[in-house]
């Protein structure tokens, strides 16, 4: 009889696993698509159901709450079931959630369905990042985390570009039906193409797996301050981005955009987001990730200030909000890459999940604040200028994070 298979770890892998990278990336693309689907559908929903756009605030916020809960739970789920099974289950959940959302007939029904959908959306990203980084070379770990997380940006871009045509031609329901169909096509590919990480890397005792996935590991002496700063940065960056991803189509109608053209605002955010991800990847080759994130956060502040003083020039508005997307989404992607670099493989899903969950808690607050300001009659210019305040605070936190020096994280964690 032959002996047990040799465990494969990122330190022994020398070449990228392109199948794993492609499948995890596409799963996150669909996550990004579905995350903003409701926001770009609101102008049409508001008209069809005969209610003010601000009435959809609970549905927007409960989506982010569901995602945050999914993020928080994913570390323990991955430790118990493995990242492959978590990815598969999460895709099933948000596929069904999207399909049923298209059949919603009331705001409260819509809100309940978005909570369930959000749980699936929240589990996908951390599990996908953990799976991709665990089965690829260690030297590429941060770049792979950026690449997989960039799927969120591409998904937002696709939703924004398709949204105008779908909403105008087939109604708001079609946005969710298309997302559900794409997820249904992806599922068998994930089933066949994603390897089981335990078979590839070797098994780990359940008690050890549970310990590695514990949130307490994120507060070991060598990383606790960096964890706190990272969480704060994520919270602030996500909160501002989701004000705009949720309400930008609605805000743009005040500048004369029709309900069919308003989703182009989401597309502009998506284009800027992809450029921001490219900036992260290129910048990380020469600079520390925290330095790159400080620069992109400054860019977000500058573009927000500019957008606050623009008139009704539609093309220029879209370009400037693309710049806002560049700065903010770079922060959202970069925080996941920082989390991956802070923690060892078995803790990576927990690290990414909790950092992202802090961001998602911010994204619960963001749409509420945006909806309240819209309900109070605040102008788009006022809203974007107020949004500068938390972005400046995020800049302070990421700058402080970059200045911290600590013992090597792997050795510090291993000692506990």
CATH of the domain at 331: 1.20.1250.20
Look at residue 21 and tell me whether its pLDDT is greater than 60. Answer: yes
Q: Establish if 10 belongs to a structural domain.
A: no
pLDDT band at 408 (very low <50, low <70, confident <90, very high): very low
What whole-number distance in Å separates Cα of residue 319 and Cα of residue 313? Answer: 10
pLDDT bracket for residue 357 (50, 70, 90): confident
Tell me, yes or no, whether 200 lies in a domain.
no
What b/e readout covers 324-359, taking b as 16+ CB neighbours within 10 angstroms?
bbbbbbbbbbbbbbbbbbbbebbbbbbbbbbbbbbb
What percentage of the chain carries pLDDT values higher than 90?
Answer: 21
Res 206 pLDDT > 60: no
pLDDT (mean) for 252-273: 72
What is the tens place of the pLDDT at every residue in 63-91? 878 888 888 888 788 878 888 999 999 99
HSE at residue 33, side-chain half, CA atoms within 13 A, is 26
Number of domains in the chain: 1
- Domain extent, residue 223, equals 18-193+209-414
The Cα 276–Cα 360 span in angstroms is 20
What confidence score (pLDDT) does residue 67 get?
84
- State residue 413's pLDDT score: 46
Mean pLDDT along residues 176-198: 90
Q: Is residue 11 part of a domain?
A: no
In a domain, 219, yes or no: yes
9 located within any domain: no
Kindly state whether residue 307 falls inside one of the protein's structural domains.
yes
């Amino acid at each position: 009889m032959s002996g047990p298979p040799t465990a494969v770890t990122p330190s022994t892998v020398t070449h990228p696993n392109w199948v794993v990278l492609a499948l995890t990336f596409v799963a996150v693309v669909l996550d990004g698509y579905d995350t903003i689907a409701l926001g770009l559908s609101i102008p049409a929903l508001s008209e069809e159901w005969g209610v003010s756009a601000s009435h959809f605030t609970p549905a927007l916020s409960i989506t982010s709450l569901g995602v945050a809960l999914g993020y928080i739970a994913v570390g323990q789920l991955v430790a118990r079931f493995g990242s492959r099974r978590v990815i598969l289950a999460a895709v099933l959940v948000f596929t069904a959630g999207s399909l049923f959302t298209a059949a919603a007939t009331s705001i409260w029904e819509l809100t309940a369905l978005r909570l369930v959908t959000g749980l699936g959306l929240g589990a996908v990203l951390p599990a996908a990042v953990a799976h991709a980084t665990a089965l690829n070379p260690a030297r590429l770990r941060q770049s792979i985390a950026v690449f997989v997380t960039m799927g969120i940006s591409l998904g937002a871009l696709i939703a924004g570009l398709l949204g105008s045509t779908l909403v105008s031609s087939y109604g708001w329901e079609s946005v969710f039906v298309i997302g559900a169909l794409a997820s249904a096509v992806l599922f068998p590919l994930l089933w066949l193409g994603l390897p089981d990480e335990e078979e590839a890397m070797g098994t780990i005792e359940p008690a050890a797996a549970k310990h590695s996935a514990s949130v307490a590991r994120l507060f070991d002496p060598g990383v606790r301050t960096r964890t706190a700063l990272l969480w704060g940065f994520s919270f602030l960056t996500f909160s501002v981005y989701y004000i705009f991803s949720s309400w930008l189509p609605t805000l743009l109608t005040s500048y004369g955009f029709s309900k069919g053209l308003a989703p182009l605002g989401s597309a502009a955010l998506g284009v800027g987001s992809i450029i921001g991800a490219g900036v992260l990847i290129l910048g990380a080759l020469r600079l520390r990730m925290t330095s790159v994130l400080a620069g992109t956060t400054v860019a977000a502040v500058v573009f927000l200030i500019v957008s606050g003083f623009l008139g009704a020039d539609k093309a220029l508005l879209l370009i400037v909000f693309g710049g806002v997307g560049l700065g903010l989404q770079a922060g959202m992607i970069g925080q996941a890459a920082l989390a991956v670099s802070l923690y060892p493989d078995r803790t990576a899903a927990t690290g990414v999940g909790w950092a992202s969950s802090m961001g998602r808690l911010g994204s619960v607050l963001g749409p509420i604040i945006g909806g309240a300001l819209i309900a109070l009659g605040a102008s788009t210019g006022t809203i974007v200028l107020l949004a500068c305040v938390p972005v400046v605070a995020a800049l302070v936190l990421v700058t402080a994070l970059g200045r911290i020096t600590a013992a090597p994280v792997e050795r510090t964690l291993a000692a506990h």
